[in-house]
Amino acid sequence: MRALLQRVSAASVTVDGEVIGQIGPGLLILVCAMQGDTTANAESLAAKVAKCRIFKDEAGKMNRALLDTGGEALVVSQFTLSADTRSGNRPGFSTAARPEEGETLYEHFADQLRAQGITTAQGRFGADMKVALVNDGPVTIWMEV
């Protein structure tokens, strides 16, 4: 699985003009299941995200994790993270998991964050979403398991 983490002061996702998920300080997590991914990948990624030390400590160093800060997570599915841009001008997305598998793994990933005690909001899988965020730092991290 792949994820793009953005440390945020606030973030929200809107579908058809309705805000369906929003958070305060924490992480906006764009996530993509790849072909061959399993629930074990989703669990591993969720554990890694929860423990990723990208929040400032008292000395101003990035030394605290989402679990340490009590921050929230907004999880948004984004199959375009599978983009293959090695040739031509049009990205290919054939390495993304099929939609039904992708949705199952996306939901499992979000559930795993909740199981660790992280308040987690979500977008809607497969929907045309509008994502708003205030990137804090900015800090943006790419993860893959």
Q: Which entry of 6, 55, 78, 122 is annotated as an active-site residue?
A: 78
Rounded to whole angstroms, what are the CA distances from 5 to 50, 55, 84, 139? 11, 12, 20, 8
Q: Which entry of 79, 109, 112, 122 is annotated as an active-site residue?
A: 79
Whose CA is closest to 1, among 87, 139, 108?
108
Q: Which entry of 35, 38, 39, 80 is annotated as an active-site residue?
A: 80
Active site residue 38: no
Query: Exposed, middle or buried by CB within 10 Å (0-12, 13-18, 19+), for 124?
Result: middle
Active site residue 78: yes
Active site residue 109: no
Q: CA 43 to CA 108: how far, in whole Å?
A: 8
Residue type, 87: S
Residues with catalytic function: 78-80
